[in-house]
Amino acid sequence: MEVKAKKYLGQHFLTDESIARRIAESLSGQNLRLLEIGPGMGVLTKYLCVDERYDFRAVEIDSESVAYLALRYPNVKVIEGDFLRMDLTTLFHDSFAVIGNFPYNISSQILFRVYENRTLIPEVVGMFQKEVAERVAAGPGSKTYGILSVLLSAFYDIEYLFTVPETVFNPPPKVKSAVIRLVRNNVTALECDEKLFTQIVKTAFNQRRKTLRNALLPLGIALDGIDSQLLAKRAEQLAVADFVQITSKLSQNKPC
């Protein structure tokens, strides 16, 4: 069955309901509160709102889509707003899972918001541009390994679930898509200054062709005490534990 769809804010809408069903079924079911980001015309919503396990809500920035969803799914609480700007603590009384066919042009921003609110969000299932999905799920040594790979894998177990072809969207994008799942691991806090950890990861990858010794120079912090073998590597060669170790040492060297 084909579903009418429109494109806005860089979003391509599914016309293949079997893919929507598969995305919905990718949730672990362990989190009873669920937020869909950018439901659009509701092709994914229809499989989420009928699952009685969930206290289900959706956030949508487009007023026309909000009106459409209110008519088609009157029992669903649709919040008109921008997920990137709203106070997430007001959405539910406790933590909640996130799901969605995320707009390509803000998908990385959504993941950074998830990272910033990781104590609130124990699980994410989402469809992304394939390149972004591969980057998030990548491990050390991969050319696609980057800032989001490190930050998210510090607190989430990440799984690349399946690839989605261009032909199941209206309008068809020029790239393939993919669905990934993030589930919070047992790490509640890193053994270092987490704000500095984030800064170091971003600084290192912003100059990923340089060795760490040279990439971290803009921070203006002495590199004394850091393993010389780590400093001789590039950012893409370092695991989360390496960045934690480096951050811990730099915290000691940072001027008061």
* Contact between residue 163 and residue 6 where contact means Cβ atoms under 8 Å apart: no
| Residue 217: CB atoms within 10 Å | 13
Same domain, yes or no: 137 and 239 = no
Same domain, yes or no: 245 and 143 = no
Of all residues in the chain, what percent are helix, strand and coil, respectively (each to 5)? 40, 20, 45
46 domain residue, yes or no: yes
Full domain range(s) for residue 153:
13-184
Residues of the chain with pLDDT under 50: 1-10
Residue 202 sits in a domain whose CATH number is 1.10.8.100
Check the CA dihedral 149-168-53-55 and report its sign.
Answer: positive
pLDDT at 256: 57
3 domain residue, yes or no: no
Same domain, yes or no: 169 and 217 = no
pLDDT digits (tens, 9 = 90+) for 129-176: 999 999 999 999 999 999 999 999 999 999 999 999 999 988 888 889
Residue 84 sits in a domain whose CATH number is 3.40.50.150
* Contact between residue 102 and residue 38 where contact means Cβ atoms under 8 Å apart: yes
Same domain, yes or no: 125 and 245 = no
